[in-house]
Amino acid sequence: MTTGVTGRLGGIARHARPRGPIETLAEVSVSVESGLASDFRGAVKPGGRGRRQVSLIEAGDWAAAMAETGHSLPWWHRRANLLVEGLDLPKTPGTRLRIGQVVLEITQECDPCSRMEEVAEGLKAALTPDWRGGALARVIAGGVIAVGDTIEIIEG
């Protein structure tokens, strides 16, 4: 993995509870203890490793899934936290990304679930190949991130 490769944070979204409404934000505080502020997935459970604290999806992958299914839904319908523009997300667990002051470590692929079929017919299948559904990450260093921040691969 090449370090120093950069992209841009194109969007931020969170939801306070499972199946809850999505809230899009211009900026958000991110912490090691709770992921994105007020997002239900971010809190590390006692004895847990926080592998699913933050979810990321590439703008290009979402666009490809929309084209494949014939839909034109906004990216947050994927229920991901961060929209990545201009950067191929690393498909290697352990790779670290810096967004502003925040450091995230990729933990695993974000496999699309059956919920995606409720969003749009054919979406689960369209998000399945080649990590198109995105990546999950844990927070290594917290801070505040904002739409437009640079995303950089810092370790691979």
**How confident is the model over 64-104, as pLDDT tens digits?**
999 999 999 999 988 899 999 999 999 999 999 999 999 99
In the chain, what are the helix, strand and coil shares in percent, each to the nearest 5? Answer: 20, 35, 45
**How confident is the model over 2-42, as pLDDT tens digits?**
567 899 999 999 988 887 889 999 999 999 999 999 998 87
- Give me the residues paired with residue 145 across strands: 28
**Confidence label for 49 from pLDDT (cuts 50, 70 and 90):** low
Is residue 36 a part of any domain in this protein?
Answer: yes
CATH number of the domain that residue 75 is part of:
2.40.33.20
Is residue 72 a part of any domain in this protein?
Answer: yes
Number of independent structural domains in the chain: 1
Is residue 1 a part of any domain in this protein?
Answer: no
**Confidence label for 154 from pLDDT (cuts 50, 70 and 90):** very high
Is residue 122 a part of any domain in this protein?
Answer: yes
Q: The dihedral of CA 118, 75, 91, 51: what is its sign? A: negative
Give the tokens for residue 56. 């990321």
What pLDDT sits at residue 47?
Answer: 66
Go through the chain and tell me how many residues it has: 156
What pLDDT sits at residue 31?
Answer: 95
Is residue 53 a part of any domain in this protein?
Answer: yes
What pLDDT sits at residue 1?
Answer: 53
Is residue 65 a part of any domain in this protein?
Answer: yes
pLDDT at 48 over 70: no
Is residue 106 a part of any domain in this protein?
Answer: yes
In this prediction, residues 32-61 reach a mean pLDDT of 85
- Give me the residues paired with residue 58 across strands: 84
Give residue for tokens 């120093």: 4
Looking at residue 18, its amino acid is P
**How confident is the model over 130-143, as pLDDT tens digits?**
899 999 999 999 99
Rounded to an integer, what distance in angstroms lies between the CA atom of residue 22 and that of residue 29? 17
Structural domain of residue 67, as residue ranges? Answer: 6-155
Is residue 86 a part of any domain in this protein?
Answer: yes
**Cβ atoms of residues 119 and 25 within 8 Å:** no
